[in-house]
Amino acid sequence: MSELLNRRLSLLSQGDNLSLLKQCLHGIERECLRVTEDGRLAQTPHPEALGSALTHESITTDYSESLLEFITPALADPAQTLASLENIHRFAVSKLGSEYLWSPSMPCPLPAEEDIPIAWYGTSNIGQLKYVYRKGLALRYGRTMQCIAGIHYNFSLPEQLWTLLRDAEGKGGDDRSYQSSAYIALIRNFRRYSWLLMYLFGASPALDAGFLRGRPHQLESFDADTLFLPWATSLRMSDLGYQSNAQAGLTPCYNDLDSYTDSLRRAVATPYAPYVEIGTHKDGEWVQLNTNILQIENEYYSNIRPKRVTYTGERPIQALVARGIQYIEVRCLDINPFLPTGIDLPQARFLDAFLLFCALEDSPLLENGECGQCTDNFLKVVKEGRRPGLQLHRDGQPVELKAWASELLARISPLAELLDRS
């Protein structure tokens, strides 16, 4: 444990400071496919009984008309967040008739690519914008990839906690800048250590054989209908998922908010030759919003995102630049297929302790190849994390996963104890 973490733990253990930890906010977004009674993709429209996918605050669709997304409010008690998710889940199931919700992250057997329905949001301007954006995703990455489901975990610390740390450490600047820098530091540590989440919670070591659509791969046959990797934890988060040459050079290392937003701003304004060749229209119909590396910022695929609630008509980058980071969104979590809602309270409590550790532990800049090392460690764990004796790299040196994981859990334990006391 670093000296900085020790000081911060001591500060937060004192009197009224401890109660700040009860003000952390938690929100969950859970995706899941609608399927028929025989486990095939439902190709019916979004059920009217679930409300409008465009405007409903709790139930919408993600990429496909068949891919539901359940959204909880941000609440201080993770148990209440999960109770909200269960209520949404129960309501949705009651309105599905003969259809079911598919439990795993990796999709059911899918129809032909062109028969996977794109989500429809009506004929309003915003509805058409969302629809054309999804047509662009299909064009760029294929519809099959858009049917992968996951859990997104939104987490924030109270602003008073950041002010407390800033004052105690004598940092200059304003509260907003300090808070944004602190969240960026959290994200850097998340990049360093998120392989641990994939080892503990990865739940997609296998997939339907038809998912790869005949593409070359290195998976093994489990049976006639299933491909897998014997030591994998999360094929969903491996390079079998989003493979984008356009995004290959777009890897922000999160050393500050300005460089992060600048890299995304360039990507949404820089044409990409293969997309330019396709154009924005075909036979008089929109096929993508534009021909840039990213159509909009949300197209950038990452394991974690800095976030700020946007005003009407405001883009995510504009909100971040104007008002700084408000919370983070963890995007790498597989759905637990053995749980009705895909996540439970023990996992949520561990995530809180892990994210608090990432927030309070010393977080130097990612330099001298460490950014690439973080990516390599993550990809190694999702593809072979269960392999006995697996070696990762830390500070350029090999280290056994088991030893590093045990060390990390020991460092996270005091954070869990602090949360228990709060």
Q: How confident is the model at residue 247 (pLDDT cuts 50, 70, 90)?
A: confident
Distance (Å, rounded) from C-alpha 84 to C-alpha 91? Answer: 11
Asked if the structure places residue 26 within a domain, the reply is yes
Q: How many domains does the chain have?
A: 1
Residue 421 clears pLDDT 80, i.e. is over it:
yes
**Does the pLDDT value for residue 241 go beyond 90?**
no
Residue 246 predicted with pLDDT over 90: no
Rg from Cα positions in the chain: 22
pLDDT at 115 over 60: yes
- Residues 5-14 have pLDDT tens digits of 999 999 999 9
Q: Does any domain span residue 57?
A: yes
Q: What is the mean pLDDT of residues 24-32?
A: 98
Q: Is the pLDDT of residue 249 over 80?
A: no
In a domain, 217, yes or no: no
254 is a domain residue: yes
Q: Is residue 75 part of a domain?
A: yes
The reply to whether 314 falls in a domain is: yes
Q: Is residue 220 part of a domain?
A: no
Give 356-384 pLDDT, tens digit per residue: 999 999 999 998 889 999 999 999 999 99
Name the pLDDT band for 83 (thresholds 50, 70, 90): very high
Mean of the per-residue pLDDT values of the chain: 95
Query: Distance between CA 69 and CA 14 in Å, rounded?
Result: 40
Nearest Cα neighbor of 193 from 366, 421, 384, 37 is 366
Express each pLDDT in 134-143 by its tens digit: 999 999 999 9
Give 347-411 as a DSSP string.
HHHHHHHHHHHHHHS------TTHHHHHHHHHHHHHHHTTSTT-EEEETTEEEEHHHHHHHHHHH
110 phi/psi in degrees, rounded to 5: -105, 155
Domain range for 102: 3-211+225-421
| Element containing residue 8 per DSSP (H, E) | helix 3-12
Residue 48 domain-assigned (yes or no): yes
If pLDDT is split at 50, 70 and 90, which confidence band does 252 have? confident
pLDDT at residue 242 greater than cutoff 60:
no
Q: At a CB cut-off of 8 Å and minimum separation 6, what does 146 contact?
A: 62, 63, 64, 67, 116, 134, 137, 138
pLDDT in tens, 313-348: 899 999 999 999 999 999 999 999 999 999 999 999
User: Among residues of the chain, what percentage have pLDDT more than 90?
Assistant: 91
Average pLDDT score over residue span 10-37: 97
Q: What CATH number should be reported for the domain holding residue 110?
A: 3.30.590.20
Instruction: Give the model's pLDDT for residue 243.
Output: 54
